[in-house]
Amino acid sequence: MPITLKHMPHRWVNIKNATRGGHRPFPDFRRDLDAALDEFERNNQLSVDREVHSVVGFRGEEEQAEHPTNYSHPIPRIEDHGDYLFGHLAVPADTWLGERDFTSLLFLATEKDLITIIKDPPLTYSREFGTVFLNRYQTHRNTGSEKVGDTLQAIAKYVVDVNQFVLRGLEIRARRTIARIDAWGASPLSRSDALPVMVPELVSLEVEVRTMGSLTRETVDVARTIVTARGAPGVSQTERVFKCVKAATSQALLARARQVDDVRRDIQFSLDSALRRCDQIQEQSLIVATHRVTAFGALILVPNLLFDFFGQAFIELPSWIQKWGWWMTAGVTFAYWAIQYVILRRRRYL
């Protein structure tokens, strides 16, 4: 059941679709969430938009089918709906298949009420984010005295922290893979043998980093929304919720969010450069292989003509040819090979 917090600057209810023992039955999760949304509407005397209900409220399969939305896509954002804020934050979580998935945190907020909904993916959850988030939730239950804006800003900071943690791991993996490419031998052909193993690994890393792009970019916009709304004289719900947020902490959040996005861009650039380099190595190896085939064909051309001619075994050949012919053809062959070898080495065909 959701935990209701009273006698505090704001009431915070958290609904989670998973527990330590695994994911909860969906009807139980939907029942608790619907109850929390009903209480949120009664306490604040407002009506949550049906589009938001279809995402976070689960008011029925018919309504979800009638109002399809794209809120489930992990793009962090804060939306001002006049009487309340709707937000979607997302943090990466690795599944057992090794693919990137996301834990979504949706929230509805007013100056005195906050509902957070955590939706973990089917096969995993974000351990780092879940730990710090639930610790904050427990602290608020016990001694909480902060404003809604401070709570949401702290949650946004946790999102930035987890993004940074995940990107650090991806950066380490990328550096190791690129270092292995740099450590290959000088021969393009020997390096090309490792391409079938290295390229899929690089592509997998590049896909994971690219999926982080929308998270890091849009998290910067979320942090910028908090900064610009702080202390603003307007009457929007965003400004009312974040008006008491400290300038130093909000500016620090924005700076860190930008830094994490810059790190993601640097990793993306390094991986793209490594993939281009692999393409160049592959093209170079094909060129070298073609040159080597051409070189071997040139080396065997003259000896093949000589041995084909004398292999006809004419009986009327002069006696000196019969006596010295084998040595003559062997000498011409080896002399030709020596000259061709020098020429082909200078042209880097061998």
Identify which has the larger pLDDT, 28 or 97.
Answer: 28
pLDDT in tens, 53-75: 766 654 444 433 333 333 345 68
Domain edge (last residue) among 78, 113, 144: 144
Domain edge (last residue) among 144, 165, 181: 144
105's CB contacts (< 8 A; 6+ apart) are 88, 89, 90, 91, 116, 117, 118, 119, 129, 133, 155, 159
Q: Where residue 312 falls among pLDDT bands split at 50, 70, 90? A: low
Integer Cα distance of 207 and 123 in angstroms? 20
The verdict on residue 35 lying in a domain is yes
Q: How many other C-beta atoms can be found within 10 angstroms of the C-beta atom of residue 186? A: 6
The verdict on residue 18 lying in a domain is yes
pLDDT in tens, 137-185: 988 888 777 889 999 999 999 999 999 998 998 899 889 888 877 776 4
The verdict on residue 240 lying in a domain is no
The verdict on residue 87 lying in a domain is yes
Query: Which phi and psi angles does 193 have, rounded to 5°?
Result: -65, -30
The verdict on residue 26 lying in a domain is yes
The rounded radius of gyration (Å) of the Cα atoms in the chain is: 34
The verdict on residue 101 lying in a domain is yes
The verdict on residue 271 lying in a domain is no
Number of domains in the chain: 2
Q: Which domain holds residue 339?
A: 289-346
The verdict on residue 209 lying in a domain is no
The CATH number of the domain where 43 resides is what? 3.30.460
Tokens linked to 227: 């900064």
Domain edge (last residue) among 144, 165, 197: 144
